[in-house]
Amino acid sequence: MKAQFASLKGDEFMSRQAISPAIGVTGIGVYTPSSIRTYQDTAMAVNMPEQWVLSRTGIHQRHVAGDQQATSDLAAAAAQAALASAGLSAEEIGLIVLGTTTPDEPCPATACRVQALLDARNAVALDVSGACSSWLFGVKVAQEWMASDTRVRHAVVIGSEVYSRFLDFSDRATSVLFGDGAAATVLSRVPDSEGFAPITLASDGTRADYACIPAGGSRHPASTGTLRGGAHYVHMDGRAARVFVNEIFPQLIEEALSSAGVESSKITAVVAHQPNPVLLRKAYANTGMPEDKLIVIGDRVGNLGAGSIPYALAQAVVEKRLRVGDKLLLLAFGAGLTWGSAVLTWSGATLRDPTRFRIGVPSQSTTE
């Protein structure tokens, strides 16, 4: 199936070129809302046994945004944590790139809302819409931007989602998977031995209907009909999504290692998008890489979309899995279809007060 994914050769060639200067992660932060939706809550909502939810997904709990919280609020909280991690003020940020599938509104860019909340008056703010691949797409934008504009010394790349506003809680294909949360990274120039190796990105729009929110745009604007039909909720072909993940996973690893010129034995941790723990572990098991290198967060937060990879990166930091110079494998895939991969050499960013930002720490329960 590899040839099926060999698209966008020109863009892929550009993505493989060496980046100078080196850009790496110098700060990291996360935010999850306090309310928790458990697998028992989920089972009750979809009228299925509790064990069915766990055996199909492996997700024990997810966080749920409060009534007054939007995607930008979660994103700003995560960005503030990342700035504290990097020891920077908001005024020192020259670029904010936000990846999300659940923006505050169609216009303006949710990144502009985040800029205002942070008071990052010197930053250019923009959104990227690559679904669950958005954070890595955003890193590529920031990487290229910083390489071409020396005035931008630091960028914040965020993945933030409030999926709970876009779920039909009786839909077994989607309501059991997605959670609310955000994670942010500060990108800065780092020594040449650190940072991101060339990032490979690709898309296949012929399969855009595998996962989508059909209404609310110019093709199907909001109407009483779209509301009655549930067209503003996430729709997903679960079987097609599973096939895609299993097919693309080994190719992503091969491309990342090849682009970076790194052997798999040199990889300290594998940080991938987290569709759900069951699917993730099955896809990873087929690669032959050691099981203990895979970072799994989906059991505690569910599918965070654009926030999954940076959140998993933060989890690796909390677990003290990373040291300066360690190499991580980053694997992204999502609706669009979109996918991408890269090797990141760690620069030593730490998470300030992880308990404050509730990485995997249950708070209170809510029902669906």
Average model confidence (pLDDT) across the chain: 89
Catalytic residue among 60, 112, 154, 303: 303
How crowded is residue 105: how many other Cβ atoms within 10 Å of its Cβ? Answer: 11
Residue 363 has pLDDT above 80, yes or no: no
Q: What is the average per-residue pLDDT within 1-23?
A: 49
Residues 6+ apart with CB under 8 A from 102: 71, 161, 162, 163, 165, 166, 305
Distance CA 126, CA 115 (A): 10
Confidence of residue 358 (pLDDT cuts 50, 70, 90): low
Catalytic residue among 132, 154, 235, 276: 132
Is 273 an annotated catalytic residue? yes
How crowded is residue 153: how many other Cβ atoms within 10 Å of its Cβ? Answer: 15
Confidence of residue 15 (pLDDT cuts 50, 70, 90): very low
Q: What is the pLDDT of residue 238?
A: 87
Distance CA 105, CA 111 (A): 11
Residues 6+ apart with CB under 8 A from 210: 236, 237, 240, 241, 244, 335, 337
Q: Looking at per-residue confidence, does 5 or 134 come out higher?
A: 134
Contact 258, 330 (CB under 8 A): no
Can you point out the beta strands (E) in the chain? 23-31, 35-38, 61-64, 95-99, 124-128, 154-162, 180-189, 195-196, 200-203, 211-212, 235-236, 267-272, 327-334, 338-345, 364-365
Confidence of residue 170 (pLDDT cuts 50, 70, 90): confident
Distance CA 327, CA 343 (A): 7
Burial 35-53 (b: 16+ CB within 10 A, else e): bbbbbebbbebbeeeeeeb
Can you point out the beta strands (E) in 190-301? 195-196, 200-203, 211-212, 235-236, 267-272
Catalytic residue among 63, 154, 235, 273: 273
pTM of the entire predicted model: 0.90
Confidence of residue 182 (pLDDT cuts 50, 70, 90): very high
Angle at 215 between CA 214 and CA 217, to 5 degrees: 110
Is 286 an annotated catalytic residue? no
Residue 362 has pLDDT above 50, yes or no: no
Q: What is the pLDDT of residue 8?
A: 38
**What SS3 state is found at 363?**
coil
Over the stretch 277-330, which tens digit does the pLDDT of each residue have? 999 999 999 898 999 999 999 999 999 999 999 999 999 999 999 999 999 999
* Domains with residue ranges and CATH for the chain: 1-360 (3.40.47.10)
Over the stretch 79-134, which tens digit does the pLDDT of each residue have? 999 999 999 999 999 999 999 999 999 999 999 999 999 999 999 999 999 999 99
Over the stretch 23-40, which tens digit does the pLDDT of each residue have? 999 999 999 999 999 999
Residue 331 has pLDDT above 90, yes or no: yes
Q: Looking at per-residue confidence, does 187 or 49 come out higher?
A: 187
The DSSP 8-state label assigned to residue 349 in this structure reads -
Is 235 an annotated catalytic residue? no
Angle at 192 between CA 188 and CA 194, to 5 degrees: 65
Q: Looking at per-residue confidence, does 358 or 214 come out higher?
A: 214
